[in-house]
């Protein structure tokens, strides 16, 4: 559930239509200067954004990039860092500061992406951007200096923190990475566990220490 704002209180049980008759393949909430933004990948693989604060229920959609398969965001004061992967598994980054403005995605040096998750950890030493990539077999964690959201200055080598080949009976995918505000090293990865024997899905998690931070 998105964070409430004074001008747009979100109550329990509230639901919005993203855009008329549209579904999404991936989604991410962000807050830009108090506005609730909803980024999503449409069924036609366009990366789109809707402003729920000024345009409820979100019928005006801006397309900010084509050929996307997955999206993630990090909200910081005055800016939303938007990350997306394309059909080739290439990661891209957008600095999003004005709703509805034209954007210029920048390629970042992470490839082989099927889905991913991003987070920012201001409490670590040093503060860091983190990106967890799922390539269908491995979950790989990238920990990057907070001065560079494009993952060119890693604080430690990228680390494979999960290997699906170790247990062929369970497929672990769609990882979401987070770190408790009172922690400075350990991340929690919430994921989907799919039983390969009966195709039943459940929610699981694992924890691991992030390299390069203390």
Helices (H), the chain: none
pLDDT tens digits for 56-76? Answer: 554 578 899 999 999 999 999
| Separation CA 209–CA 45 (nearest Å) | 34
* Half-sphere exposure of residue 196: CA atoms within 13 angstroms, side-chain side: 9
Q: What is the pLDDT of residue 207?
A: 96
Could you tell me if 102 and 1 lie in one domain?
Answer: yes
Could you tell me if 125 and 42 lie in one domain?
Answer: no
Do residues 92 and 66 touch, judged by C-beta distance below 8 A?
no
Which of 107, 129, 158 delimits the end of a domain?
107
Could you tell me if 22 and 55 lie in one domain?
Answer: yes
Could you tell me if 73 and 27 lie in one domain?
Answer: yes
Could you tell me if 84 and 172 lie in one domain?
Answer: no
Sign, CA torsion 93/114/155/128: positive
Residue ranges making up the domain that contains 49: 1-107
Could you tell me if 185 and 90 lie in one domain?
Answer: no
Could you tell me if 99 and 171 lie in one domain?
Answer: no
Highest mean pLDDT among 14-18, 161-165, 193-197: 161-165
Question: What does pTM read for this prediction?
Answer: 0.87
């Amino acid at each position: 559930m998105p964070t409430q704002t004074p001008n747009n209180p979100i109550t329990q049980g509230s639901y919005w239509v993203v855009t008329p008759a549209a579904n999404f393949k991936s989604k991410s909430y962000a807050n830009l200067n108090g506005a609730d933004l909803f980024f999503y990948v449409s069924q036609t693989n366009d990366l789109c954004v809707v402003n729920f604060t000024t345009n409820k229920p979100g019928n005006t959609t801006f397309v900010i990039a084509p050929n996307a398969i997955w999206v993630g965001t990090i909200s910081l004061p005055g800016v939303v860092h938007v990350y997306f992967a394309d059909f080739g598994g290439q990661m891209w980054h957008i600095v999003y500061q004005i709703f509805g403005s034209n954007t210029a995605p920048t390629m970042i040096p992470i490839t082989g992406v099927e889905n991913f998750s991003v987070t920012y950890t201001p409490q670590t030493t040093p503060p860091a951007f983190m990106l967890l990539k799922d390539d269908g077999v491995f979950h790989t964690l990238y920990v990057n200096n907070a001065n560079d959201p494009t993952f060119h200055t890693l604080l430690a080598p990228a680390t494979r923190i999960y290997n699906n080949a170790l247990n062929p009976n369970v497929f672990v995918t769609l990882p979401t990475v987070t770190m408790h505000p009172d922690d400075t090293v350990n991340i929690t990865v919430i994921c989907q566990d799919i039983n390969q024997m009966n195709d039943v899905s459940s929610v699981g998690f694992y924890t691991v220490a992030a390299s390069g931070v203390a």
